[in-house]
Chains A and B, each alone.
Chain A
Amino acid sequence: MNLTLYVWRQKDAEDKGSLEKYDARDINHHMSFLEMLDVVNEGLIQEGVDPIAFDHDCREGICGMCSLMINGRAHGPEKATTVCQLHMRHFKDGDTIYIEPWRAKAFPVTKDLIVDRSAFDRVMQAGGFVSVNTGGAPDANALPIPKANADVAFDAAACIGCGACVASCKNASAMLFVSAKVSQFALLPQGHAERKQRVEKMIAQMDEEGFGNCTNYYECEAACPKEISVRFIAKMNREYLMATIAK
């Protein structure tokens, strides 16, 4: 199959950047979207053109590195799929595809399609942890946790921190990411002790990074490759209100 690509090219963080047109020729239906870009890049290298820079790592859909806005959708048109797991069979011969980086003030573009997502790391540093004394590993099952709680905590912990929620949100809000992280700790006994400070600090850091506010569009939920539910945003709101009232 042959495709026409419009790809965002930007030399570095200071460059203004622009959409450039490329032809992707003889693409195999079985290729992943990233493999298709690899083929395009091979051609660019042979022509002596700087290849398209994009983030990727595991290519198994679990690391959260790949981050492309494809035809206006974070991670492309398929539900619950990262770009690396998106296959070219979902496109048709002759399609035109727009490929853009995540767009948010808190996620500055560093080169082409790569954005700096350290803002998420700083949100995690603010409270996304459980403080424990070092020592021997505790016995498994020493701390009983109801199955239902463990399941919900795991649903939240499935977040891979890719940032698709921010990219797809019309407000560039990070509420789905932060709420998943707040919830996974709040739902487990290990996270209980610090739950009040955690939610306050993580939200304060989220605001400081310049993410937008949540207006309940739920567009994040639709874009999330791990199908994190917006119920966790409600959970975080509740955690935050409880922490505020407790003060």
Chain B
Amino acid sequence: MTTSQASVSFTTASVGKKVLMAITGICLIGFLIVHLIGNLQLFIGQEQLNKYAETLQSLGGLKWGFRLFMLVLAVIHVWKGVVLWLENRRARPIGYHREDTVQASLSSRTMIYTGLLIFAFVVYHLLHFTLIVTNPEYAQLKDSVGRVDVYSMVITGFSNYAIAIAYLIAMFLLAYHLSHASESFFQTMGWANDKYLPKLKILSNLFAIVIFIGYASMPIAVLLNIVKLPGGGN
């Protein structure tokens, strides 16, 4: 083997792939924050949430542009993640009989599994609430002004224990994934050093907890009857 003279292209080089993971990842995190803020309007009430949903739906071309952008981000993130995982497995064809772990966190070692499970959840979530394929009866829900009744849809959805628990598990996996992901972003982009890295690790865990509490609050509030269907029924 001789030393290579030609430099490899950015998107196939090891560090380049990491940077792609980091940038697509941080954009997806940005979406998680926006999506959470939007969804938490559930607690303000039916009028607010349905108005917000209608505003988003009325964006037309912008909405589809955004959806396409998110799809591309997600596909790159998942695809590069799988490629990296496969390459890393190939880099050690014969493993150890005894293998110990000193400081690699469990979340860092399970990124591919939590990641793929989250991807599967996202597919279900889109079929469930966005495309309304798995529960077509939601499509009939309209509020008093004739808008799509997102508020009632969410409450009806989470009133089903199996669905609510599936969402809670997915949110736990997401938070677990994020606890390594957000800190990793700074390391990969080269914005970490001895002073910041320990703090970034703590912030990364805190952020994951906030995301979990934020998203989990909605199915839990429905299960505990804190938010109810209009008219008091559940």
The residue of chain A having its C-beta at the shortest distance from the C-beta of B102 within the complex is A222
**Nearest B residue to A69 by beta-carbon distance?**
B96
Contact B187 A204 (CB under 8 A): no
| B188 in contact with A237 (CB, 8 Å) | yes
> Contacts of A105 on B, CB cut-off 8 Å?
90-93
**B91 and A106 within 8 A (CB):** yes
- Which B residue's beta carbon lies closest to that of A243? B7
Judge whether A234 and B191 touch: CB under 8 Å. yes
- How would residues 67 to 79 of chain A score, 1 for a CB under 8 Å from any chain B CB and 0 otherwise? 0010111000000
| B interface, size bucket | 35 or more
B15 and A240 contacting across the interface, CB-CB below 8 Å: yes
Partner of B1 from A6, A208, A212, A231 at Cβ < 8 Å: A208
- Stretch in contact with the other chain, from A29-37, A44-52, A134-142, A213-221: A213-221
* Residues 111-134 of B contacting A (Cβ, < 8 Å): 111
Tell me the residues in window 166-200 of chain B with beta carbons closer than 8 Å to chain A beta carbons: 180, 183-184, 186-194, 197
Q: Which of B10, B88, B94 lies in contact with A170, CB distance below 8 A?
A: B88
Q: A208-B4, A233-B187, A244-B10 are in contact. Are A215 and B88 (CB under 8 A)?
A: yes
Query: Which residues of B pack against A, CB within 8 Å?
Result: 1-4, 6-8, 10, 13-19, 84, 87-88, 90-105, 108-109, 111, 180, 183-184, 186-194, 197
Q: Report 24 cross-chain contacts, Cβ distance below 8 Å, ordered by A residue.
A: A100-B96, A105-B90, A105-B92, A105-B93, A125-B3, A170-B88, A170-B101, A172-B91, A173-B14, A203-B15, A204-B7, A210-B90, A212-B87, A212-B92, A213-B91, A214-B18, A216-B184, A219-B101, A219-B102, A219-B103, A221-B103, A237-B18, A240-B16, A244-B16
